[in-house]
Structure 1
Amino acid sequence: MAETGLPAGWEVRHSNSKNLPYYFNESQKQSRWEPPSGTDTEKLKAYMAEHHSQRELGLDSGGLNGNANVNKIRASHLLVKHKDSRRPSSWREANITRTKEEAMSIILGHEQRIRSGQTSLGQLAVSESDCSSARKMGDLGFFGKGDMQKEFEDAAFQLKPGEVSGVVETASGLHLIERLE
Structure 2
Amino acid sequence: MVSFSNLPLGWEVRHSNSKNLPYYFNALEKVSRWEPPSGTDTEKLKKYMATHHSSSQSTSASRPEGKIRAAHLLVKHRDSRRPASWRESQITRSKDEAMTIIKDHEQKIKSGAISLGELAMSESDCSSARKRGDLGYFGKGDMQREFEDAAFALQPGEMSGIVETASGLHLIERLE
TM over 0.5: yes
Identity of aligned residues (%): 74
- Using the TM superposition, give the Cα deviation of residue 136 of structure 1 relative to its aligned residue in structure 2, in angstroms: 1.1
1:25-63 deviations in Å (ceiling 9; x for gaps): 3333332221110111121122212221215x3325415
Partners of 2:36 and 2:18 lie apart in 1 by 19
1:118 aligns with 2:118: no
How does 1:123-162 map onto structure 2 within 5 Å?
123-162=118-157
1:119-169 deviations in Å (ceiling 9; x for gaps): 111111111111111111111111112211111111111111111111100
Q: Is contact 1:34–1:91 with CA below 8 Å preserved after alignment? A: yes
Match of 1:66 in 2: none
Partners of 2:10 and 2:66 lie apart in 1 by 45
Partners of 1:14 and 1:165 lie apart in 2 by 30
Aligned length: 174
Q: CA RMSD in A?
A: 1.7
TM-score (norm 2): 0.91
Match of 2:95 in 1: 100
The gaps in structure 1 that reach 5 residues or longer are 64-68
Partners of 1:61 and 1:78 lie apart in 2 by 23
